[in-house]
A and B are shown apart, each in its own frame.
Chain A
Amino acid sequence: MKKIWFFLTIILTLVFIPNIKVKANSYSFYMAERIDGVYYNMYDPATGRLHYQRGMFFRERTTNAFAYCIEPFRVFFDDSTYTEFNPDKLTVEQKNKISAIAHFGYGYKNHTDPKWYAVAQFLIWQVANPEGDYYFTSYLNGPRITLFTEEIKEINKLVNDYFSLPAIANKDYYIVDGSNLVITDENMLIDNFSTLASNVKIENNQVIISNSKIGNNEIYFERKENTYNKPIIFYQSATSQNLVDTGDIPNVKFKINLHVDTTSVNIIKVDKDTKKLIPSGDASLDGAIYELYDANMKKIATITIKDNRAYLKNLNYGTYYLKEIKAGQGYTVNNELIKFNISYDNKDVNLTVLNEVIKSKIKISKKYGSNDNFLPEENITFNIYDKDNKLVKTIVTSVDGVVEVILPYGKYTLKQVNTTDGYTINDPVEFEVLDGKEINFEFKDYKIEVPDTKTNFIKRLILFFIYILC
């Protein structure tokens, strides 16, 4: 008995397994509902034959799913056996495009009117056999008419968009830490995509990226076409025209590379004459004020120099201009417009800015005598001290009794060191270099004769009497 059961099982398995397998890969299609008012003519240049037919759906017998014909000049027979296949006679490009038309045709979003089936079928024929001439007619084998212009345009756009990437795809972008990036897609496609990045928003054809981390960030975008939740299948039959149903086409993906870095601008203030950080005289390099402008000369910041420096952190990439509007005390304003660029390959900019100290020529002329006979006083030494009584310069008059020296902004004391015999040393003179004007000291040591001004009574009396007598 057991043996009988065993053989029965073997026989049944051998009988049914092939049938089950055949049934899973076999399909049967039929000519389903007609599409009112739609007639096609299809001219085959290879045979010179003109085919014509009504607009109608092809549907699978079991699932009733619709399908499109991909062999326009071959006859369809109801209930032919179909199997899935890979249409090798079509190029990859043709297969992809036919798939896209099938996807965006009837049943895609609001494409629920049967006309979308007619339009999609029309476009699929054009791709499947581009040699043929396909057109709508007003009735069966009637004259050529133009139909569904807008619908054709829409499906073509959807297909073309599907095969196009946004302009931003696979590009590198560089931003500065703390700044946002807003990218507009010139191809107007980015709204079809989504991203899993939480700091990225896509709206109104723009990608807005904020709070990015320092470093290189890869941001992925994906266009999901999961309207049908099934793949597109091509069907072939030995006795009838081949078909394709609708389904989802592969998702489109791309990424952008976002490079986030820090930037810095170091401004170092230096004395123009000495090229040093130490100011000249009593002047101060600190306190200088700069205005920062962007490339459009729009003021974006005011910067004050402190401890010879100013620092700007994370200034965005771009071109900038720096202009001094106030110099430190004792320095002249530098009117030079300083241009600099910050870019991803020039993130840290060092600027050395110069100020020229206010200077004055000090001219000393030393003479002695009286108006009738003033002589130049040669070899007279003067010491010049700063406000802290520190010796700054020692100068000596020339044979003309003249000596010149240039001093920077500050307070000074001029002290005469020696003198000509018979003359006293002048008192120290304090002076200030304030505005760059020449300062002249003309030391004229007058030595003049004065009358005897002591009242002598006897002399006065004698003169008095002489006066009376006169």
Chain B
Amino acid sequence: MLKVTFRITLTFVIILFLLTVVRINDNENVIPKFIINKLDNIQDKIMLLKEEISHEEKNEIGELIINKIGLAEKLYALGSNENNVNKHVTILKESIFPDEENSIVFIAAHSGTGRLAYFKDLNKLKEEDEIILKYKDKKYYYKVESVWEEAKNGFIEVTKENAKQLILTTCSPTNEELQLIVNCIAYKEV
């Protein structure tokens, strides 16, 4: 009991310390890298333990695979707690799934650093790069048609094309004022 009380106290002390540092500098870069990495490692291990609890409860519906940037992440149903940008890559509610007519799937994820920064390398995608979306026992193959950045204002503007479409979006890794958008067009399904 004493150990638990001690752990909680120590945790709050560390938080207060860090908040103080941030308030002074208002810049997370002042936090030593080794601390960030250490915390990330700890966080990852705990997260992995938590994920083992039950996949079924998370309503897994598919997977996003981008080999070029080494991404293979599960997708969760709209409305599921796991379909959250702070947990996984996230399907936005405007999406029309690939087994439907005029399909357009919007997927967002974090860029930057850390375990949740699934789209940290999204800006490395070029035209013709391949993206695979597994959904309902089918694989939908997309090719990158265009990549662009637009002003970050909480919205993205995309034109629906005459094909199954996949839109990947994240914050620009190079400019905080911009939103990165990758427009992909399906070319086959298996």
Residues of A whose CB lies within 8 Å of any CB of B are 370-372, 423-424, 426-427, 440-458, 460-465, 467-469
Contacts and interface: CB of A to CB of B under 8 A. Distances in A.
Contact of A457 (B31, B90, B93, B170): B31
Contacts of B22: 458
B158 to A, nearest CB: 4
Interface of B: 8, 11, 15, 18-19, 22, 28, 31, 36, 39, 43, 46, 50, 85-86, 90, 92-94, 96, 102, 104, 106, 108-114, 116-117, 119, 154-160, 162, 169-171, 176, 179
Which 5 pairs from chain A and chain B are nearest by CB? Answer: A455-B112, A444-B160, A454-B171, A457-B28, A451-B85
B176 A454 contact: yes
Contacts of A462: 15
A453 B169 contact: yes
Nearest to B85: A451
Contacts of B8: 469
Q: Interface SS of chain A: helix, strand, loop or mixed?
A: mixed
A205 B61 CA distance: 95
A185 to B, nearest CB: 76
A441 B162 contact: yes
B154 A449 contact: yes
Contacts of A441: 162
Given A442-B162, A444-B160, A447-B157, A455 B114 contact: yes
Nearest to A470: B50
18 contacts: A423-B157, A426-B159, A427-B159, A445-B159, A446-B160, A448-B94, A448-B106, A450-B92, A450-B106, A451-B92, A453-B109, A453-B110, A455-B111, A455-B113, A457-B31, A460-B43, A463-B86, A465-B15
Contacts of B90: 451
Contacts of B18: 458, 461
Contact of A458 (B19, B85, B154, B159): B19
Q: Interface SS of chain B: helix, strand, loop or mixed?
A: mixed
- Highest count of chain B CB atoms <10 Å: which of A426, A445, A450, A457: A450
Given A454-B171, A465-B15, A371 B96 contact: yes
A460 B155 contact: no
Contacts of A445: 157-160
B159 A451 contact: no
A452 B19 CA distance: 21
A130 to B, nearest CB: 102
Contacts of A454: 110-112, 171, 176
Nearest to B169: A450
A461 B15 contact: yes
B171 A452 contact: yes
Given A448-B94, A455-B114, 18 more contacts: A443-B160, A446-B94, A446-B156, A446-B157, A446-B158, A448-B106, A449-B154, A449-B155, A450-B92, A450-B156, A452-B85, A452-B154, A453-B119, A453-B170, A457-B31, A460-B116, A465-B15, A468-B11
- Highest count of chain A CB atoms <10 Å: which of B46, B96, B160: B160
Contacts of A457: 28, 31, 36, 113-114
Contacts, number: 108
A404 to B, nearest CB: 16
Nearest to A366: B159
Nearest to A369: B94
Given A453-B85, A453-B108, A454-B110, A370 B169 contact: no
Nearest to B104: A446
Contacts of B154: 449-450, 452
Nearest to A374: B160
B171 to A, nearest CB: 4
Contact of B92 (A448, A455, A461): A448
A450 B28 contact: no
B77 to A, nearest CB: 17
A152 B142 CA distance: 105
Contacts of A370: 94
Nearest to A425: B159
Contacts of A465: 11, 15
Contacts of A423: 157
A200 to B, nearest CB: 75
A78 B94 CA distance: 140
A461 B94 contact: no
Contacts of B112: 454-455
A465 B92 CA distance: 27
